[in-house]
Structure 1
Amino acid sequence: MPALVVVAALLVVWQVYVDVAGVRPQILPSPGRVVSQGWSQRDVIAGHAWSTLKVTLLGFALSLVVAWILAVLVDFSPWLRRALVPLFVVSQTLPIIAIAPLMIIWFGFGILPKLLVIALVTFFPMALGLIEGFGSADRDAGRLLRSMGASNTQVFRYVRLPSAMPRFFTSLRIGITYAVVGAVFSEYVGATSGLGIYMSQQKNSFRTDLVLAAVVVTAVISVALFLLTYLAERLVAPWVRADAS
């Protein structure tokens, strides 16, 4: 509620300023104009939003699978931890604004380069969250299971995996918001549809109101996916919320 109050106050100030100062819509449209013009283009924006959402989910799914596989391998192998974790960190130093055009050169204008950009943006927080989550497991619980004859796989399943869930879902929430940003950015460098390409087209036409309308839709998608992670957490690891409360 406090956040909604702040947003409402900012919108009122924005609307009053535009009305009083007489700012041209090409420079700063009023919130009312953004809503009305966006609604008039709702079918077009919805089509582009669906393209962005589809790419976001596919790219994020690819990143999620790779993060899980590598994090589990790293947890079982100290040598792989020393070999791969530094590379994970280095992957975050790569300038996406420079890498994305190269993806187009290497893989063409299909969906693959966009998926790779999203995976590159979102992989690190999820992989690191899982690795640190596995490492935070109760060592005494692991020793107790081993004293009862449990294998490394059983210790991982019953101790290390549940212990990693809180950090994993925290990193999942970070990653899913990055995924939407990565999808929009990947569309700027090579796409035929999507909110990124729509915003680029409207910017070139000096339709600032429609650019902001697309920004609002992008934010709504990000918030919706962010909230869905809490639903997934309740379904997959209900004990996490129970422990927090």
Structure 2
Amino acid sequence: MSTSIRAERGGRVGRYAPALLLAAGLVAAWQVYVVVSGISPRVLPSPVRVVDQGWTNRAVIAGHASSTVQVTLLGFAVSLTISWIIATAVDFSPWLRRAVVPLLVVSQTLPVIAVAPLMIIWFGFGILPKLLVIALVTFFPMTLGLIEGFASADKESDALLRSMGASRRQQFRYVRLPSALPRFFTALRIGITYAVVGAVFSEYVGATSGLGIYMAQQKNAFRTDLVLAAVVVTAVCSIALFLLTFVAERLLAPWALAAKEGTR
């Protein structure tokens, strides 16, 4: 292994070490408090109990987690498609930009906690209301990231292509699209974390399977340990999907990731 690779890995470990140490300290304090106070596990189970009961019920939790991840990915795919269509259309039409962007902002004032039950009433307990809730909470950051990314394209490059007789589509393909990808992937990382939360919340309101309905069932059974175990699994799923966005960025826009790493 070369010295540069070791130094790079060492830098990454050092970057995340404070957060890991803080998390470990909080978990240790939680464990000590539960042991010293003698608080009921129904109110606050210890981390050891959460891990033990989560592992004991791993098959059931894994089944619900699989359902949640599937819904998350489907809903996110819908949101991603809508975001690209809207952002591309806005980039080609200044009038549409003035009409759509304010509506995008207004859409974020809608309380999801109030909209999600309405989705269940209107569309039942199938997959459609879950997809709509996920799309509602995730398409705004991705759409806005794309719109701003397209607008940040280098003006001189655009002018050069125009002087060479390039069409608007060619300008979009060779200048505006590459310029938008770094901001898009930043928005993608925000959106994917919202997607998991949106999926769990939509299941919590009404579903037959998924981590959200599992948490609701265990809450009603006063199994706080299993509720927290499901919360941990939800966090792990979010982190895994978040990290996958870096893999996608490295494959689709390696120059953007290299530029970010170079500025650190």
**Short-chain TM bin:** over 0.9
- How far is 1:109 from its partner? 1.2
1:224 aligns with 2:245: no
The match for 2:154 is 138
1:4 to 20, 39, 42: 20
Residues 52-106 of structure 1: CA deviation (Å, up to 9, x unaligned): 0000000000000000001000000011101111111111001111111111111
Residue 170 in structure 1 maps to residue 186 in structure 2: yes
Aligned to 1:240: 256
* CA distance in 2 between partners of 1:212 and 1:108 (Å): 28
Instruction: Pick which of 142-151 and 98-107 moved more.
Output: 98-107
Runs of 4+ in 1 over 3 A off after TM superposition: none
Aligned residue for 1:58? 74
- Structural mapping, 1:1-245, within 5 Å: 1-244=17-260, 245=262
In 2, the alpha carbon distance for the partners of 1:64 and 1:197 equals 25
The structural deviation recorded for 1:19 is 0.5
CA deviation profile, 1:184-204 (whole Å, cap 9, x unmatched): 000011100000000000000
Letter matched to residue 116 of structure 1: L
Q: Helix, strand or coil: the match of 1:211?
A: helix
Superposition TM-score, scaled by structure 2 size:
0.92
Write the letter of the residue equivalent to 1:154.
Q
Distance in 2 separating the partners of 1:239 and 1:36: 44
The Cα offsets for residues 22-50 of structure 1, whole Å up to 9 and x where unpaired, read as 11100110000000000000000000000
d(CA) in 2 for partners of 1:52, 1:197: 10
**Root-mean-square deviation (CA), in Å?**
0.6
The CA deviation string for residues 163-203 of structure 1, in whole angstroms up to 9 with x for no partner, is 00111000000000000000000001110000000000000
**Match of 2:90, as an amino acid?**
V
User: Which residue identity is paired with 2:53?
Assistant: Q
CA distance in 2, matches of 1:172, 1:199: 27
CA distance in 2, matches of 1:109, 1:39: 29
The percent identity for this pair of structures is 77
SS at match of 2:258: helix
Stretches of structure 2 lacking an aligned partner (at least 5 in a row):
1-16
Query: Could you state the TM-score of these two structures normalised by the residue count of structure 1?
Result: 0.99
| C-alpha separation in 2, matches of 1:169 and 1:8 | 30
- Counterpart of 1:147, as a letter, is S
Letter of the 2:128 partner, please give it.
Answer: L
* CA drift at 1:210: 0.4
CA distance in 1 between partners of 2:114 and 2:37 (Å):
39
